Amino acid sequence: MRLLSSALCTTVAVGLLAGCSGNMSATNPTTPTAGTQSRVSGGHVIPHWAKYASVIPGIIPPAMRIPQRDIHPPKKATAGGIYVSEFYNTTMFGYQHKNTANNGPTCSIAPVSYVNNVASDMAGNLIEPDGGSRTVNVFSGPGMCGSLLGTFADSYGQPSDAASLNAATGTIAIGNIFDNSGAPGSVSVCTVSGGCTANLTNSAMYEVAGVAMDKSGNCWADAINSGGTATLTYFAGCAGGGTAATGFVNSGFGGLDIDNKGNIVSVDINSTAVYVYSGCNPACTLVGGPFSLHGSTVFGHLNKQSMTYAAGDYGNGEVDVYTYNPTNLAYWYSFNNGLSASYDVEGVAFNPASKQ
């Protein structure tokens, strides 16, 4: 997961890239002590687990400047598939649902900028939190790479994850890595028609990774606090000040999803594993895990039947697909045709989302 700062530099959380040109050299730090974040000029935050690599240009389009989308749907429109985003790529791809043959993308959407994760709803509508332009774009389903339904600015921070039961007409929860001016991350509560009208914060949320919403409209945010400890925060009705979930044993934060039994499926970036919890409203009960992942992963999502789990593997530049049930996660196959490890494969979402 990566942060873009208003100081025109780029921070990459989850051990991939961090730094500002002219402010620090490219070095690999040792394993950090929890709670030791460093800052460089302009309030640019370097997460405590980051290692440094080359720096990319940090030109951020104005938040209200909505680029014209160049959408290439499949020649034969199909309902269902897998969306994949790469942080450094300006194009997002759609793939066939079962891609064991490692076929290339069937469709694409461009331009996109600095996308961490993508999400879909149960109707197959696609939600793209565009980190570079600070906008959220919603594309119609159930066909892959559908038309642009609407777009709105995230006025609270850098959007990096999303969750919604019905993105076209309902509430969309947006996870912000950090809020504006380096403030701790949050969950923005938004709609396509009305934009973002509320911002949910909690002292346990310093840097936010994943966000999830259940069928009753409750929300969760997976984050680290200011001391570097992984936290899960429950927002009843996706409102209010939130409550810290108890029984959450992840050592690191990561993406969230909810399976068809209502369990929360959580990625742990530190152990490269998945945990499955029930409840967490606010008391969590561990149902399954930790299940080891095939490669370095921040985000993952379930398919409609909650039988398959796809994860963005940025270390190997691919998407890893697993068979899933709440007490077992087994590696199945990977695909990488059209993807690049240098672009950092991160976001992945099935069309449609898990039917809770």
Residues 277 and 128 in one domain: yes
At residue 36 the predicted structure's pLDDT band, cuts being 50, 70 and 90, is very low
Q: Is residue 63 part of a domain?
A: no
Looking at per-residue pLDDT, the higher value among 132 and 19 belongs to 132
* Distance separating alpha carbons of residues 116 and 210, to the nearest angstrom: 10
Paired strand residues for 297: 313
Q: Is residue 105 part of a domain?
A: yes
Task: Map residue 2 onto helix, strand or coil.
Answer: strand
At residue 32 the predicted structure's pLDDT band, cuts being 50, 70 and 90, is very low
pLDDT (0 to 100) of residue 299? 96
Residues 114 and 35 in one domain: no
Residues 29 and 177 in one domain: no
* Distance separating alpha carbons of residues 79 and 212, to the nearest angstrom: 23
Work out the average pLDDT over 172-182.
94
Q: For the chain, give the mean pLDDT.
A: 84
* Distance separating alpha carbons of residues 331 and 334, to the nearest angstrom: 9
Residues 8 and 84 in one domain: no
Q: Tell me how many domains the chain contains.
A: 2
Q: Please give the residue range of the domain that contains residue 33.
A: 2-46
CATH of the domain at 275: 2.120.10.30
At residue 343 the predicted structure's pLDDT band, cuts being 50, 70 and 90, is very high
- Specify the amino acid at residue 242: G
Residues 153 and 37 in one domain: no
pLDDT (0 to 100) of residue 73? 75
Judge contact between 256 and 208, C-beta under 8 A.
no
Question: In this predicted model, what pLDDT tens digit does every residue of 275-301 receive, in sequence order?
Answer: 999 999 999 999 999 999 999 999 999
Q: Does residue 157 have a pLDDT over 70?
A: yes
Q: Is residue 119 part of a domain?
A: yes
Judge contact between 178 and 157, C-beta under 8 A.
yes
Judge contact between 125 and 132, C-beta under 8 A.
no
Residues 132 and 213 in one domain: yes
Residues 92 and 35 in one domain: no
Work out the average pLDDT over 246-271.
97
Give whole-number Cα distances, 270 to 240, 243, 301, 356, in Å: 29, 24, 18, 27
Q: Is residue 61 part of a domain?
A: no
> Which value, to the nearest 10 degrees, does the dihedral of the CA atoms of residues 354, 82, 286, 239 take?
-60
Question: In this predicted model, what pLDDT tens digit does every residue of 82-124 receive, in sequence order?
Answer: 999 999 999 999 999 999 999 999 999 999 999 999 999 999 9
Across 60-69, 182-191, 337-346, least confident range: 60-69
Q: Which two tokens stand for residue 234?
A: 């429950």
Q: Is residue 52 part of a domain?
A: no
Residues 84 and 24 in one domain: no
Residues 221 and 151 in one domain: yes
Task: Map residue 182 onto helix, strand or coil.
Answer: helix
Residues 210 and 340 in one domain: yes
* Distance separating alpha carbons of residues 203 and 148, to the nearest angstrom: 36
pLDDT exceeding 70 applies to what percent of the chain? 80
